[in-house]
Amino acid sequence: MQINQLLHFVTVIEKESFTTAAYALHISQPSLSTSIRRLEDEIGFKLIDRSQRRITLTKEGGLLYDESTKLVMHYNMVRETALKLKERGPAHLSIGLIESAKYWTAQVIKSYKDIHPDVFIEIEPILSIDEIKKAFDDFEVHAAITSQFINDQGIASIPLYEEKLVAVIPGNSPLREKSEIHLIDLKDAALIISQEGYQTRTDILNSFNKIGVTPNIEYEIGRFDFVADFVLNELGIAVIPEKYAQSLHSTSVYIREISDSPPHRPVYLVYDKKRFLSPLTEDFINLVLKYFDKPPLDSADLVNRS
């Protein structure tokens, strides 16, 4: 027994005519008659009394019609929901986010909520490439803001901006007296740095490598909030994104620009090109691109919209 057979059966009864029902179902009348007969053969009893000139249900057919009507109504609701989901996507948006992007994402989300006030928004802290790929594979996020360029044909990486990395110096360091510092000044300082696999670490080490200096790494930490705590407790100096450093609002630390060969890190908007990009996700992506004066996605970007 297939849902289409029940749909055919219910439509015949509602239209009180095989001809009218076939027209409504966009199938031929012989195909409709065959569908009903196969349904009767499968269940083992007649549904329609064909000895009458008008469409008349048998007793068993009347009972099955009542239940079939409920099932067909539910099927139509499910089908309508599926079409809406394809057109609009679920009323839920999950965004993977690096910590330093929080200074601007709230403004974009505010604009997004003006357009989609009913959408539930979830922010996921995602840092490494492996975390981003897993989040896409597990359908945990719809898009992400990251400092990592993801070299994967299935993932789009759109450059948004570059953020300056600054030195955050504790109160017990003599470097706090300098209005600006050089990378060489950090040579012997206890350095607090991101763990391996994070782009910030790579960017910092590349900057030291350019001047032929091997930094004194004493602490490896994954999240910037832990880095900040370590600096506040005078355990060492950290090099972190400027906007995040400015959000510390502490008189116990000193933020200094690095004047020679200042390290920067690019920030990307990434999304999975292999999955359906709903209009809700597309709207968020385009608002981010607009915020940074980037062109919106075009049809060539949306290879999987169908």
- DSSP character string of 200-229: HHHHHHHHHHHTT----EEEEESSHHHHHH
Name the pLDDT band for 86 (thresholds 50, 70, 90).
low
User: In the structure, what pLDDT confidence band is assigned to residue 89 with cuts at 50, 70 and 90?
Assistant: low
pLDDT digits (tens, 9 = 90+) for 257-304: 888 766 677 899 999 988 778 888 999 999 999 999 999 987 555 544
Tell which residue, 192, 183, 189, has the closest CA to residue 261: 183
Tell me the residue type at 153: Q
Q: What's the mean pLDDT in 70-92?
A: 72
Quote the DSSP letter at residue 132.
H
Query: Among 227, 231, 237, 182, which Cα is nearest to 208's?
Result: 182
- Mean pLDDT over residues 69-87, rounded? 73
- Classify residue 91 by its DSSP letter: S
**How many angstroms separate the CA atoms of 48 and 100, rounded?**
69
User: Residue 272 pairs with which residues in a beta bridge?
Assistant: 155
Quote the mean pLDDT of the chain: 84
- Residues 192-220, mean pLDDT to the nearest whole number: 85
Residue 8 has pLDDT above 80, yes or no: yes
- Residues sharing a CB contact under 8 Å with residue 283, sequence separation 6 or more, in sequence order: 112, 115, 116
Task: Read off the tokens for 256.
Answer: 């200094």
What pLDDT is stored for residue 305 in this prediction? Answer: 43
Helix, strand, or coil here: 79? helix
Q: How far apart are the first and last CA of the chain?
A: 30
The rounded distance, in Å, linking the Cα atoms of 40 and 228 is: 73
Q: How many CB atoms lie within 10 A of CB 304?
A: 12
How many Cβ atoms sit within 10 Å of the Cβ of residue 258?
20
Listed in order, strand segments (DSSP E) in 26-177 are 92-97, 120-125, 143-146, 155-170
Structural domains of the chain sorted by starting position, each given as residue range(s) with its CATH number in brackets: 3-86 (1.10.10.10), 92-160+266-291 (3.40.190.10), 163-264 (3.40.190.10)
Please report the pLDDT score of residue 158 as a whole number. Answer: 94
Place of tokens 């009903």: 36
Judged on CB neighbours under 10 Å (0-12, 13-18, 19+), 61 is: buried
Q: What is the pLDDT of residues 97-153, one digit of tens each?
A: 887 788 899 999 999 999 999 899 999 887 678 888 888 888 889 999 998 888 888
Q: Which value, in Å, is the radius of gyration of the alpha carbons in the chain? A: 31
Q: How many Å apart are CA 143 and CA 135, to the nearest integer? A: 9
CB atoms within 10 A of CB 65: 20
